[in-house]
Amino acid sequence: MRSLDTNVLVRYYAQDDPQQSPVATRLFADKQPLFVTKTVLIEFWWVQSTLFSTTITQAESWCQRRKSRFRHNI
């Protein structure tokens, strides 16, 4: 199982980096479970809300649609 950091989630969500976004997309296309810590999810929301004006509801919705792929430390 791969563990994702904030940068991978942001690059996948935003598709804003011509080098890093395709790598992040391939990780999600792999269909293997992905481990995400609570800290990474909080940082992801912070980056999205600060840099991309994403609301907490939008970020939560995005995560909910992908939660079957994530394993996390609750």
Q: Tens place of pLDDT for every residue, the chain, 74 residues?
A: 889 999 999 999 889 999 999 999 998 888 788 888 889 988 988 888 888 787 878 877 877 777 666 665 54
- pTM greater than the 0.85 cutoff: no
Question: For residue 14, what are its two tokens?
Answer: 């935003």
The answer to whether 5 and 20 have CB atoms below 8 angstroms apart is: no
Q: How many CA atoms lie within 13 A of 56 on its CB side?
A: 1
- Express as a percent the part of the chain with pLDDT over 90: 32
In angstroms, the CA 32 to CA 70 distance is 9
Share of the chain above pLDDT 70, in %: 88
pLDDT at 64: 77
Quote the CA–CA distance of 40 and 8 in Å, as a whole number: 10
